[in-house]
Amino acid sequence: MDFRTRSNRRDLLKAGAALTATASGLGLGTGLAQDQSEKTGVDPDQWTPEYIREIAGTYEPDTAADVAAVTQLDHEGKFDLWYVGPDQATPQIQIDKEAEFWAAWSETYPNIPMEDGDNVLNIGYNDLLDKVRTAATGSAAPNVARMPILWGVEFAARGQLQELNLEDFGFSEEDFWPGALKSCRWQDRLYGIPTNNETMAFIWNAKMFEEAGLDPDTPPATWDDVVEFSRAIKEATGKAGYGLVARVNAGNTPFRFMPMLWAYGSGALDEAEENPTYETVMINNEGGIAALQACYDMYVRDQSVPASALTNTQTENGDLFIAGEVAMMISHPSEYASLRDKAANAEGADKELADEIVSNVRYGLIPEGPVRRAVVFGGSNIHIFNDDIVSNEGDIDAMRAFMAFHCGPEWSTKMAWTGSNPGHIRGFETPAMAERLEQIPFLDVTTSMLPYGVPFPVIPEATQIMNEIVPNMLQNALTETMSVEEAANRAAEEIEAVRGGGF
């Protein structure tokens, strides 16, 4: 396929985007995107915004009764928990829900104490993986860890996680998306339970679009359009068009670059293909080089993305967006709540600008490429580490109680309040989901990306590939240390090398 001659297709996609771009008019029926339902289990014909709103509030969970069937409510026990929780960038409403969660836990299981700084550690996203690796190597792992969806298979492959049976927690396979459960499996054995599943969306500043002569209500339909829009915004306003993220060893990078890579018909391996084997390296195919070239064009040729993209995470991108320095980015529905919080805390002229930007925020589907529309099928899973590598002996019934409580319909929904979707499918039916849909603008847009989700490769080397090799490829190309093709070929060689394993 010639990636340079797609004007007719782009016109069709733009027409479709006009119908699907905003929360009020979003639909999934363009028929132009290849959905990933075989991998995720999310049927695009069923899981529409209309259907989600229809079922929300139709089921009232009784969490105490559900978890009592797993572990008696008067049970006494203790265990250690590490997880990624709220930080300084977390919207206040999510912090409040976190507090409600711990209060409800204490009321339900008063004899299983969970005390912050004692047996519960909230560790930053970019720090947790290395801390868990080090702790597990030194037989000082926590009993339980809630980790991003990409990480668990590495520890399972090392024999460091306990095999789990969903029935022991009061669950069945039908309670979770097949794609989510797949991320918890290694060699056909289950080592974790999904807590939440997330898909992101495309966000833009409508006023900056207008200033650049672009339709404020129509986002770029394709990734080629993103390049063009970014350049137009830079030329018209002097501001960055697109919030590129290329930082090494930060999960923000693969979550934003892989949808682009997949859209062009590539992948680190064959994870986006119909029947992935995780044995074929695709990152340097024609599509992979085209995706990397698009990033190069924005960063080097057009200089239409932040110069700090090499070190930025989404936190910095969000700061640039609310300051009117970036017009487009990819993020969660929680980004809107975060932007509102930042605007509320601003003063003087900064507040006036921030309020204007919040009023001009728009969300839409992530753009398509020549092959598909794609987004990372992400989220988190919760795991139990083997007794021989933990620092403190934990009570297994207490752990099961906590995981049943956390992963059930009620709290998998509330704990995903601003930024994700419940891991338990019945969470979509709860009153909390109905409240979220009314309270959180653009939630239906990000949820509607679920049918386009692509799970990361379920192999132990996936974390190294996504957090190191892929960002290093970007860095090599964007700093012009290597040509685009050389950078892609180097990444392919490195992926081939690490696939040797050592696990």
Which residues have a Cβ under 8 Å from the Cβ of 40 and sit 6 or more positions away? 177, 178, 179, 180, 377, 450, 451, 453, 455
CA distances from 155 to 135, 255, 357, 378 (A): 12, 21, 43, 18
Which residues have a Cβ under 8 Å from the Cβ of 231 and sit 6 or more positions away? 241, 298, 302, 304
The end-to-end CA distance of the chain, in Å, is 38
CA distances from 423 to 16, 156, 244, 411, 414 (A): 30, 20, 28, 10, 11
Pair (208, 354) in one structural domain: yes
Pair (420, 347) in one structural domain: no
Spacing of C-alpha 423 from chain mean position: 13
Length of the chain: 503
Which residue has tokens 């990819």? Answer: 330
Q: Could you tell me the sign of the dihedral formed by the alpha carbons of 337, 342, 343, 345, in that order?
A: positive
Pair (242, 310) in one structural domain: yes
The answer to whether 479 and 310 are in contact (CB under 8 A) is: yes
- How confident is the prediction along the chain (503 residues), in pLDDT tens digits per residue? 333 333 332 332 333 333 333 333 333 333 334 457 777 888 888 888 889 999 999 999 999 999 999 999 999 999 999 999 998 888 899 999 999 999 999 999 999 999 988 999 999 988 999 999 999 999 999 999 999 999 999 999 999 999 999 999 999 999 999 989 999 999 999 999 999 999 999 999 999 999 999 999 999 999 999 999 999 999 999 999 999 999 998 789 999 999 999 999 999 999 999 889 999 999 999 999 999 999 999 999 999 999 999 999 999 999 999 999 999 999 998 899 899 999 999 999 999 999 999 999 999 999 999 999 999 999 999 999 999 999 999 999 999 999 999 999 999 999 999 888 999 999 999 999 999 999 888 998 888 898 899 999 999 999 999 999 999 999 999 999 999 999 999 999 999 999 865 55
Q: Is 190 left (phi over 0), alpha (psi -120 to 50) or beta?
A: beta
Pair (417, 307) in one structural domain: no
Pair (395, 337) in one structural domain: no
Pair (402, 434) in one structural domain: yes
Provide the 10 A C-beta neighbour count for residue 128: 20
CA distance 152 to 66: 26
Pair (153, 55) in one structural domain: yes
CA distance 1 to 17: 23
- pTM of the entire predicted model: 0.86
Pair (409, 283) in one structural domain: no
Q: Is residue 452 part of a domain?
A: no
Q: Is residue 456 part of a domain?
A: no
Pair (245, 359) in one structural domain: yes
Pair (209, 340) in one structural domain: yes
CA distance 488 to 467: 15
Q: What is the DSSP secondary structure assignment for residue 29, as one 8-state letter?
A: T
Q: Is residue 455 part of a domain?
A: no
Q: Is residue 23 part of a domain?
A: yes
Q: Is residue 428 part of a domain?
A: yes
- CATH classification at residue 111: 3.40.190.10
Q: Is residue 113 part of a domain?
A: yes
Domain of 490 in residue numbering reads as 7-32+200-372+461-498
The answer to whether 498 and 459 are in contact (CB under 8 A) is: no
* Burial class, 285, CB count within 10 angstroms (exposed 0-12 / middle 13-18 / buried 19+): middle
Pair (281, 164) in one structural domain: no
* Burial class, 6, CB count within 10 angstroms (exposed 0-12 / middle 13-18 / buried 19+): middle
Number of independent structural domains in the chain: 2
What is the pairing mode between strands 144-148 and 81-83? Answer: parallel
Q: Is residue 133 part of a domain?
A: yes
β-pair partners for 3: none
CA distances from 444 to 36, 105, 440 (A): 18, 29, 9
Q: Is residue 105 part of a domain?
A: yes
Residue-by-residue DSSP string for 283-305? TTSHHHHHHHHHHHIIIIIS--S
Pair (295, 368) in one structural domain: yes
